[in-house]
Structure 1
Amino acid sequence: MDFTKNHKINLTKEMETLLITLQAKAKDSFSKHSILQDNKAADILQMIDYDFEKVSHFGNEMMVIRAKQLDTWLQEFINKHPDAIVLNLGCGLDTRIVRINLPSTIQWFDVDFPEVIELRKSFFSNQKGYEMIPSSVTDPNWLEKIPNNRPTMIIAEGILEYLSQDEVKVLLNRLTNYFPQGQIAFDVMSSFAVHSGKDSLKETTGAVHKWTVDHINDVDTLDSNWNRIANLSIFQSKYVHKLPLKTRFLYYTMAMIPNFRNMIRLLLYKF
């Protein structure tokens, strides 16, 4: 593969944040005890012309663990429903479709802003069973392009916090009303977490986190069609044990302090 840095990045605000998660996954692939083993992310990183140093301080390990847990829930769903529809919202340059063991009967859709999908097409191509949809997730029209005749798994990784609570509610209601059955997995950030990192995020990319969650019950009431089946702190994930010793100790310590433990949580709902 040609690793010439020939892909110049001109993304801003929340679109630029996809480079934070890309770098986190690429860095993990170089680790002796890699959690994701995401060699595709590493390949993409080497072909992008961007100063990754400016986004190197955003908690790479947290993003890797988040991705791994979402991968795990998705793989479990696919194992039970090998003919499922997978909807990956705010996909950025995520390589989940490469990381997951997919039967040929899966229909997978990656959705993101048109500018992001244009960049993504430099590294991925639409093909049988896989389609990229260029649209903001808040646009009401894109969903009708997705079939709704199978069990559906929806992943929203690192995206909902950039929407207002009203936008989140409208999106979730639209999804659970459109698909007859399935699961949806996503992450939420506490107001403590958002406040702690908002200046750095805005200064670096211009992006702003809008939706904060301090009480999971508030999320439960956003949609009458679903039931929560998992609520997991990043710092209590079973994948923490694969981190380097110093980071592992830090995470175990943070898991004992409520403000830190509840900073980022992963939620799984059935509808």
Structure 2
Amino acid sequence: MADKNHKIHLHEEKETLLITLYAKALDNRLKHPILHDQKAEEILGMIDYDFEKLKDFGNEIMVARAKQFDVWLQKFLKTNPNATVLNLGCGLDTRISRIHPPSTVRWFDIDYPEVIEIRKKFFSNQPGYEMVPSSVTDPGWLENIPDNNPVMIIAEGMLEYLTETEVKTLLNRLTDHFSNGQIAFDVMNTFAVHAGKKNLHETTGAEHKWAVDHIGDSDKLNPDMKRMANVSVMGTKYIRKLPLKSRLLFRFMYFIPNFRNMMRLLLYKF
């Protein structure tokens, strides 16, 4: 086992990157993992952090979410092998090592400068892959991203930490910059935000600022975006791969509207 020689000192929404990393690493330890994310488990083993305190953050839901986004991205790259990929608020996400995109793809992982500094301990820029140190709400970073190819934009577990105005501004900047592509992101309802508020704040100091109770509200944020998919994370086929106890729990929750709509995965084209 690798030495835990990397200490992480992050706070608020930046610290939440460890929640998703932990979820994917735990999944890899299962007999039948959904993501098969060996890289996530390797990174976890090198970080000096009390991951035990992150055990109650719906890890299995995060894994199902990541798998659905992976599948949407893979489908997009099959028909657009020269695409640009933007992974917004990437944290320590290992998607590029799961997808193995063709060399013709240009991939950009974007996050706060202090997060990218940590990410550089585990990843390095190379032809076709670049880490961009910037808040996604900063208007400057997008100017350096090529706009001549179709783009797939993924915002996994990120937009909830922005205000609705910030989300709207970001989405419009993205569709103004690129001529065509797809955008995948998740939304949480008010019930989910309130249910997890105390635990999230006490553990990381972070706060969810944007909730979506009616998908039509998300549709209205950008007139250029047309919704292609709206999937309850509890209704994805990947939930069926979880251990029996978890499958039964999520199946039960799916039939209760507040739970079914706790997190929905949306895919738009523009």
TM range (shorter): over 0.9
Q: TM-score, normalised by structure 1?
A: 0.99
Counterparts of 1:228 and 1:25, CA distance in 2: 27
List alignment gaps of at least 5 residues for structure 1: none
Counterparts of 1:48 and 1:145, CA distance in 2: 32
Partner of 1:167: 166
Indicate conservation of the 8 Å contact 1:84/1:150, yes or no. Answer: yes
Indicate conservation of the 8 Å contact 1:152/1:183, yes or no. Answer: yes
Counterparts of 2:92 and 2:230, CA distance in 1: 26
Residue 185 of structure 1 aligns to a residue whose secondary structure is: strand
Shift of 1:45: 0.2
Counterparts of 1:234 and 1:261, CA distance in 2: 8
Counterparts of 1:227 and 1:202, CA distance in 2: 34
Partner of 2:142: 143
Identity %: 67
Counterparts of 2:86 and 2:158, CA distance in 1: 13
> Is residue 2:249 matched to residue 1:250?
yes
Residue 207 of structure 1 aligns to a residue whose secondary structure is: coil
Partner of 2:107: 108
2:122 corresponds to which letter in structure 1? F
Counterparts of 1:88 and 1:101, CA distance in 2: 14
1:197-241: CA deviations, max 9, x gaps?
A: 000000000000000000000000000111000000001001111
Counterparts of 1:239 and 1:51, CA distance in 2: 28
Indicate conservation of the 8 Å contact 1:84/1:107, yes or no. Answer: yes
List alignment gaps of at least 5 residues for structure 2: none
Q: TM-score, normalised by structure 2?
A: 0.99
Partner of 1:69: 68
Q: Which moved more, 1:98-107 or 1:205-214?
A: 98-107
Residue 172 of structure 1 aligns to a residue whose secondary structure is: helix
Residue 100 of structure 2 aligns to a residue whose secondary structure is: coil
Partner of 1:94: 93
1:17-61: CA deviations, max 9, x gaps?
A: 000000000000000010000000000000000000111110110
Shift of 1:3: 1.1
Provide the aligned length of Structure 1 versus Structure 2: 270
Shift of 1:101: 3.3
